[in-house]
Structure 1
Amino acid sequence: MNDKELRQNVIDELDFEPSIDAADIGVAAEHGVVTLTGYVPNYAQKTAAERAAWRVKGVKGIAQEIQVRFPGDSRQDDGEIAQRALNVLAWNVVVPKDSVHVKVQDGWVTLSGQLDWNFQREAAMADVRKLAGVSGVVNDMTLKPSVQAGDVKQRITDALKRHAEVEASHIQISVRDGGTVDIEGGVDNWDERQAVMRAVWSAPGVRAVSEHLLIG
């Protein structure tokens, strides 16, 4: 697939995604790297546009340059955003009460604190990025270590073998003290990469992931 075809496929995928208003999004492609530019009305659409681009076969990298431009330039007060973020986190039964701290500056929300599982961290991020007035979300949340490095590696290796869409023999995994997992190897597409990442983050004790997977 040449860059012209790749660019058109990304444009078509953005238009197909119902959660995105793609009218003001620009797309360029060069050697498999897609650059997204333009404006969207909220941060949720910015992240949705990036996910949509990754779904397109042939995309090897993304330069994310989309900016959030609020309707009518109605930027909201940081204090209001912080309070709404705290409220939505309190309502989320997945996120333990008072475990996540919120800081807001110029519309950018920083989430910190310590959680047991990555899915709790992902749930907190998903809730906050949907809020009106949010320009971006910074993830400073950490995970508590709970098992030994050897156990983590074995659990991940077993999980990869159970995934039909992943060729486990092409993935190399090492676990450092403290729960950081290093992943290397190759996958055929973005969906396979996501499957690998899900398997890694599903293992208890994983606190951080250093991912060096090649797509294609």
Structure 2
Amino acid sequence: MNDTELRQHVIDELEFEPSLDAANIGVAAERGVVTLTGHVSSYSQKVAAERATWRVEGVKAIAQEIQVRLPGDRQLADDEIARRAINILAWDDFVPKDAVKLRVASGWITLTGAVTWNYQRNAAESQVRKLSGVAGVSNDITLVPQVSSTDVRQRIVNALKRNAEVEAERIHVDVRENGVVKVDGVVDDWDERQAVERAVWSAPGVHSVDARLRIA
């Protein structure tokens, strides 16, 4: 696929995404690297644009330069955004009570605190980024390792072998004592890369993932 075809496929996918108004998004493509520019009216739409782009075959990397421009009627004071964020986190069963702290500056939410599982970390971010008035989210929640690195590695390897989307023999896993997991190797497409990362994050004790997977 040449750059012109890839660019058109990304444009088509952005226009097809129902949660996104792609009218003000620009797309450029060069050797599998897609650059997204322009602006959207919410942070959730910015995230949706990136996810839609990754779904397109041939995309190897994304330069995300989309700006969030909130309409006048959706601009809220930071204290109001903070109150809404606290309330929505309190109602989420996946987010441990009182484990996540937040601060808001000019519509940008920064999440801090510590949880045990990555799905809890992701749940907190997923909830606050869809709130009205949010311009962006920084997820600085840490994960607290609770198992040995040897056990973590074995669980990850077993998970990769069970996954029908992954060719496990092409993936190498290295677990450090501080909970950082390095995975490298070759995958066929972005879906397989995401499947590998999901398998890694599914193991308890994973603090962060250094994914160096090449799309062949």
TM-score by length of 2: 0.98
Report the Cα distance in structure 2 between the residues aligned to 1:73 and 1:2, rounded to whole angstroms. 42
Q: Give 1:75 shift.
A: 2.7
Return the letter of the residue paired with 1:26. Answer: G
Within a 5 Å distance, the mapping from 1:1-216 to structure 2 comes to 1-72=1-72, 74-216=74-216
Return the letter of the residue paired with 1:103. Answer: R
TM-score by length of 1: 0.98
Q: Calculate percent identity across the aligned residue pairs.
A: 65
Return the letter of the residue paired with 1:181. Answer: V
Q: Give 1:74 shift.
A: 4.6
Return the letter of the residue paired with 2:169. Answer: S
Q: Which stretches of structure 1, 4 residues or more, deviate above 4 A after TM superposition?
A: none
Superposed CA RMSD in Å reads 0.9
> Structure 2: where are the runs of 5+ without partners?
none
Contact 2:74 2:132 in 1 (8 A): no
How many residue pairs align between the two structures? 216
Return the letter of the residue paired with 1:162. Answer: R
1:74/1:93 CA distance change after superposition, 3 Å: closer
Report the Cα distance in structure 2 between the residues aligned to 1:214 and 1:77, rounded to whole angstroms. 43
Report the Cα distance in structure 1 between the residues aligned to 2:212 and 2:97, rounded to whole angstroms. 34
Q: Give 1:73 shift.
A: 7.0
Provide Cα deviations, 1:164-195, integer angstroms capped at 9, x if missing partner: 11111111110001211011111111110110
Return the letter of the residue paired with 2:4. Answer: K
Report the Cα distance in structure 1 between the residues aligned to 2:74 and 2:45, rounded to whole angstroms. 17
Q: Give 1:106 shift.
A: 1.3
Provide Cα deviations, 1:133-178, integer angstroms capped at 9, x if missing partner: 1111101101111110000000000000011111111111100012
